[in-house]
Structure 1
Amino acid sequence: MRAPRVAIVGSGPSAFYAAEELLKAGVLVDMIERLPTPFGLVRSGVAPDHPKIKAITAAFEKILAAPGLAFYGNVEVGRDLDVRELAELYDGLVLACGASADAPLGIDGEELPGSLGAGAFVGWYNGHPDHRGLAVPLGAERAVVVGNGNVALDVARLLLSPPERLAATDIAADAAAALAASRVREVHLLGRRGPVQASFTPAELRELSRLEGIAVRVAPEDLELDPACQIELDMPHADNARKTMKLLCEIAAAPPRPAARRLHLHFRAVPAALLGRGAVEGIRIARTVLEGPPARRTASPTGETFDLACGLVVRSTGFRAPPLPGVPGDARSGRVPNRDGRVTLSGRVLPGLYVTGWMKRGPSGVIGTNRPCGQETARAVIADLAGRPVRSDPGFRLDALLAGRRIAFVDREGWRRIDACERALGAEAGKPRQKLVDPAALLAAARGRAEAAAVP
C-alpha cells in the first residue's frame, strides 16, 4: 500500500511534534519553512542566556533526520507556493506558521521611533533575518516594557544584563555590540492587572531576582489584594500564582540592595500614550482597577495617570498570526478556527486542511505545550487519511517543482552546512554558535561557500 504524503508549513516545535506522530504512522512528510533554518522560536525566540531550553533542538534534529521527512527551507507559502496548490498536491496540509506579528497597543505615539514590539526586539537579539539591523535606541538610562509574561521578563533581563553575562551565548553579534554600549540601567515593567494575574512563571522571576548586579523592586502597595483576588489566589489550580506572590512579597520586604541596574515591577498600570517629538521621550501610564469575579478579572482605567521619561518602549502584549491567503483566520485572537486541528470555515470542516501551534490555539504556552497540540492535529490527519484513498501523485517531488521555479531552497544537508558554519564561527569567539543573520550568508553557508563566514 502506498504511503500518504503530508506537507507541514513551518518548522517550530508544534511542526516537529506533528511530524513525529505522522512519521510513526508511516506518513511521508515534506516540511516547508520560510527561513533557511529550522526550529522556529526555539532558535529565534528563546533567550540566548537560556541554553538548556534550546537543547530541545537535539530531539528535533533526530526527527529532521528521519528518512520519511524532507526539509525545504527558504520557501515561502503565499509567495513561492500557494495554499490551494499544496492542498491539491498532498493528502493533507498542516499549517504551523506561528504568530509572528506583534499585537499593537492602539495608543497615541505608538508609531514613534523607539517604540518596538517584543517579537522584533527578541528576533533582533536572537539573529532572526527579518530583524537584522533593527534600530534599537539604547542611549537613555530608562526603558519601559509593557506586559508581564515570560517574554517581557526576557526583554527586561537582556536590557539589564552586563555585557560579560551574554558574551558566551549565541546572541547575535550586532545585538551584543549594541547592548554592550547601552546606557540603559533602569527598566520598568508594566502589568495591566495585579500580581495574582501575572503571566510570568515563578522560575523566571526568581532567576531575575538573583542575578548579580540587578536589583528587582516592587512597591508593597502594588501587592495589596482585594477580596476577589485573594479568592483567586486561594483556588486549587493557582500554585504558580501563590509561588509568584510569595516571591514578590519577599522582594518587596527585602531591604533595597545597591545595584547599578534596576528592574521596577508595576501592577495595575497600562500605557495611555507614548510621548515625544520625533522619537519616544516618555510614556504616560494610567492606573487601573480590577473588576469582575475571581479568575475572570478585567482591568479598567481609574482616570489617574503619571508620566515617566524613557527612550525605549517595548510592548510584549501578545502576537497575531499574519493572514495567509486561502486560510480563514480571526484577526482579534490571531487563531485559525479549527476543531481538534481541522480547519473550519463558518463551523464547517475544510477537508485536508489542518493547523497546529499558535495558529491553532493562539500565542500561549511553553515549548512543551506544543507536544500534545501537534500530536492532536497529527492524529486528526491520520484518522482522516484512514477513511480515504491516497490521492497524491506517486511521482510528485517538491524539489523538482521548486527547481523548475528557480527557487533556491535549503534542504536537510544545506541546514547541516549552515549549522556547522555557525558552530565553527562560534568556536572562534568562545560561543556555542555565531548565528548568520544575512539571508545571502545563510544561503552561501547552505551551499558550503566560504563567503558565508565573512557576512554574519
Structure 2
Amino acid sequence: MSLTVFTQTAQHERFSFHGNVNVGKDVTIDELRQAYHAVVLSYGAEGNRSMGIPGEDLPGVFSAKDFVGWYNGLPCNKELHPDLSCETAVILGQGNVALDVARILLAPVEMLKETDITQNSLEALANSKVRRVLIVGRRGPLQIACTIKELREMVNLPKVRADMLPADFKGIAEVLKDLPRPRKRLTELMMKAVKEGGDDKAEKCWGLRFFRSPVEVLAGADGKRATGIRLALNKLEGSGESARAEVTGQTEDVDCGLIISSIGYKSIPIDPAVPFDPRRAIVPNEMGRVQDTAGLYCSGWVKRGPTGVIATTMNDSFDTARVLIQDMEDGKLDLSVNKPGAKAITALLQTRGVRTVLFSQWEKINAEEEKRGRSLGKPREKLLDVDEMLKIAWS
C-alpha cells in the first residue's frame, strides 16, 4: 500500500491507529477479541531462520533481515556497524532480499544518495572495499526464487559486470521453450548475463552460484572472525519447482570477509492465547481462520510462511477479508452482541500507563523525516532513535 493510500485509509472516521503498543504485552489478544467482533493478525515474520552450521555466530556473519534493517534505518539495527573492508561478500539465498542486498553493496554511491538510505549507511557504503558479491543457492537456475524486476536491476547496475559459471546453465537452453512465461523470461535474462557478462573494465562484479549449500563458516587464524565459507556441491533430484538438492560429498571453499544469510524469515508467537506451529512458524489456520479460535483471523506471512512478493501478500489479504465477510454473512460471527471497539482499547491502555502514538502524531514523525531529507537532497532521512521519534510525535 502506498503512503498516499494508507493516509487516506488512516484518516477515515472509522479508523483508529494505536502506535507504540506492544500486542501481547501492553494489550492481549483476548482483550482485543473482547473489544472487536473480529481481529486479524498480520504481523509478518520478524524472526530469522538459522543456517544451523558451525561458525554462523562469528563476527562478519549477518542475517539479511538485520543488514537490510541497518541500511533502511530500523532503530534496532542502528548499531550493526558491518565491516565492509573485505573484497568479496557472499550472500546465501537467491530471493529478492538477497538481490537487494547485493545491489546495495555494489551500486554507485551517487545512485544511493538519491534514496532514503540512512546517512550512516551511506558513509559506510561510500568507504566500502567490497568489489565482488556471490549470491549462492542450493538448487539450479530453474528454481531461483527472485523475480525478473530485481534481477534486471542487478544486470543493469552501472560499472558492474556479471560473473556467472556457464556450467551451471548446462542443458537449460533445451528446456527453455517449455517453461511458463515468467520463469522463461527470468531464465533468458540470466542466460543473457552469462553470455554477455558486461563491461570488462568494470571494477565490481556479481555472480549467481548454483548447486551449493553452506556447510561451515571458516574463521581466520585467530579464530575471531569469518574469513571464508565452505560450500557443499549439490546435484538435483527431480525437476522443476519440486526439484530437491542432494549433496554430492564434494565441497568448495570461498574466501570472503562478509557473509549474509538470506535463507528466509520466520514468524514468532505473539501471545500465548494464539495457536502457533513452531515447526512451520505460522499461526495454524484454514483459509485465514485461526484454528479453534472464533473471530480470530490471519493474513500474510504469519498465515502461510515467508514466501511470495507484495502482490502475493495483497491477494492473500483479500482472501482473508473475503472469508471474514463470509463468516459475518453466515452468522459465524455473532454481530448481535455490541462490542466497544477502539474506546475500550484506548481506556485500557490509558489505565496501564501506555502512551500511544495517534496517526496525526505519526504524521509529525513523517514530516520531520521528509524535512531532514530535503536538506540532504533525499526523499527522507529516517529517525533512528525511538525516544526521539516519540518526543517529536508528542510535541
- The code of the aligned residue for 1:447 comes to W
Instruction: Find the counterpart in structure 1 of residue 304 from structure 2.
Output: 361
**2:237 corresponds to 1:291:** yes
Residue by residue, what CA displacement relative to the aligned partner does 1:285-322 show, whole Å, maximum 9, x if unpaired? Answer: 11110002443100011111111111111111111001
**2:198 corresponds to 1:252:** no
Residue 106 of structure 1 and its aligned partner are, at CA, apart by: 0.9
- The code of the aligned residue for 1:382 comes to I
Instruction: Find the counterpart in structure 2 of residue 36 from structure 1.
Output: none
| Match for residue 377 of structure 1 among 297, 320, 329 | 320
Residue by residue, what CA displacement relative to the aligned partner does 1:206-233 show, whole Å, maximum 9, x if unpaired? Answer: 221111111111111011137xx965x5
- The code of the aligned residue for 1:61 comes to T
**2:183 corresponds to 1:241:** yes
Residue by residue, what CA displacement relative to the aligned partner does 1:373-408 show, whole Å, maximum 9, x if unpaired? Answer: 212222322333342223413793322221221112
| Match for residue 342 of structure 1 among 289, 308, 332 | 289
Distance 2:337 2:316 in 1: 25
Matched position secondary structure for 2:349:
helix
- The code of the aligned residue for 2:361 comes to G
Does structure 2 conserve the Cα–Cα contact (< 8 Å) formed by 1:272 and 1:284?
yes
Residue by residue, what CA displacement relative to the aligned partner does 1:396-431 show, whole Å, maximum 9, x if unpaired? Answer: 332222122111211111111111111111111111
**2:220 corresponds to 1:280:** no
**2:99 corresponds to 1:157:** no
- The code of the aligned residue for 2:284 comes to P
- The code of the aligned residue for 1:355 comes to C
Matched position secondary structure for 1:429:
coil
**2:37 corresponds to 1:91:** yes
**2:80 corresponds to 1:138:** no
**2:47 corresponds to 1:104:** no
- The code of the aligned residue for 2:25 comes to R
* Higher RCO by CA contacts (8 Å cutoff, separation 6 or greater): 2
- The code of the aligned residue for 1:68 comes to R
Instruction: Find the counterpart in structure 2 of residue 313 from structure 1.
Output: 259
Pairing of 1:38-49 with structure 2 (within 5 A): none
Instruction: Find the counterpart in structure 2 of residue 421 from structure 1.
Output: 368
Instruction: Find the counterpart in structure 1 of residue 358 from structure 2.
Output: 411
Instruction: Find the counterpart in structure 2 of residue 23 from structure 1.
Output: none
Residue 351 of structure 1 and its aligned partner are, at CA, apart by: 0.3
Instruction: Find the counterpart in structure 1 of residue 378 from structure 2.
Output: 431
- The code of the aligned residue for 2:270 comes to L
- The code of the aligned residue for 1:117 comes to S
Distance 2:25 2:143 in 1: 41
Instruction: Find the counterpart in structure 1 of residue 337 from structure 2.
Output: 390
Residue 239 of structure 1 and its aligned partner are, at CA, apart by: 1.6
Residue 270 of structure 1 and its aligned partner are, at CA, apart by: 1.3
- The code of the aligned residue for 1:243 comes to R
Distance 1:235 1:408 in 2: 58
CA RMSD of aligned residues (A): 1.8
Distance 1:99 1:62 in 2: 26
Pairing of 1:174-185 with structure 2 (within 5 A): 174-185=120-131
Distance 2:370 2:99 in 1: 28
TM-score, length of structure 2 as denominator length: 0.93
Instruction: Find the counterpart in structure 2 of residue 263 from structure 1.
Output: 206
Matched position secondary structure for 1:109:
coil
Which segment drifts farther, 359-368 or 249-258? 249-258
Instruction: Find the counterpart in structure 2 of residue 200 from structure 1.
Output: 146
Does structure 2 conserve the Cα–Cα contact (< 8 Å) formed by 1:218 and 1:265?
yes
Instruction: Find the counterpart in structure 2 of residue 119 from structure 1.
Output: 65
Distance 1:223 1:293 in 2: 14
Residue 145 of structure 1 and its aligned partner are, at CA, apart by: 0.3
- The code of the aligned residue for 1:375 comes to F
- The code of the aligned residue for 1:356 comes to S
Matched position secondary structure for 2:50:
coil
Residue 441 of structure 1 and its aligned partner are, at CA, apart by: 1.2
Q: Which runs of 5+ in 2 are unaligned?
A: none
TM-score, length of structure 1 as denominator length: 0.81
Distance 1:404 1:230 in 2: 68
- The code of the aligned residue for 2:82 comes to V
Change (3 A) 1:395 1:298: closer
Matched position secondary structure for 1:188:
strand
Change (3 A) 1:327 1:422: same
Residue by residue, what CA displacement relative to the aligned partner does 1:254-299 show, whole Å, maximum 9, x if unpaired? Answer: 2552211110210111111101111111101111100024431000
Change (3 A) 1:254 1:352: same
Matched position secondary structure for 2:182:
helix
Does structure 1 conserve the Cα–Cα contact (< 8 Å) formed by 2:35 and 2:345?
no
Instruction: Find the counterpart in structure 1 of residue 393 from structure 2.
Output: 446
Change (3 A) 1:199 1:408: same
Change (3 A) 1:397 1:85: closer
Change (3 A) 1:398 1:290: same
Change (3 A) 1:192 1:391: same
Residue 127 of structure 1 and its aligned partner are, at CA, apart by: 0.8
Distance 1:184 1:378 in 2: 45
Change (3 A) 1:194 1:230: farther
Distance 1:412 1:128 in 2: 19
Distance 1:350 1:166 in 2: 46
- The code of the aligned residue for 1:189 comes to I
Does structure 2 conserve the Cα–Cα contact (< 8 Å) formed by 1:191 and 1:270?
yes
Distance 1:296 1:230 in 2: 19
- The code of the aligned residue for 1:271 comes to P
Distance 1:372 1:244 in 2: 22
Matched position secondary structure for 2:30:
helix
Distance 1:225 1:403 in 2: 65
Residue 372 of structure 1 and its aligned partner are, at CA, apart by: 2.2
Q: Which runs of 5+ in 1 are unaligned?
A: 1-12, 14-55, 449-456
Instruction: Find the counterpart in structure 2 of residue 61 from structure 1.
Output: 7
